[in-house]
Amino acid sequence: MFGFLEGISPLWWIAFGFALGGVELLAPSYFLVWPALAAFALGGWLAFAPGLSGNVQVGIFAASSVVLTIAGRWAMSRLDRRDRDASALNDRSSQMIGRRAYVIEFDGSEGKIEIDGTLWKARTDGTSKVASGDHVRVVGNKGSVLFVEND
Mean pLDDT, rounded, for 79-84: 64
Question: Where along the chain do the CATH 2.40.50.140 domains lie?
Answer: 92-150
Instruction: Decide yes or no: CATH 3.40.1160.10 for domain 92-150.
Output: no
Beta strands in 11-125 (DSSP E): 100-107, 110-115, 118-123
132-148: average pLDDT: 93
Whether the Cβ atoms of residue 59 and residue 44 lie closer than 8 Å to each other = no
Residue 82 predicted with pLDDT over 70: no
Q: Mean of the pLDDT values across residues 6-22?
A: 91
- pTM of the entire structure? 0.53
Question: Could you tell me the CA-to-CA distances from 69 to 8, 44, 74, 80 in Å, in that order?
Answer: 25, 19, 8, 16
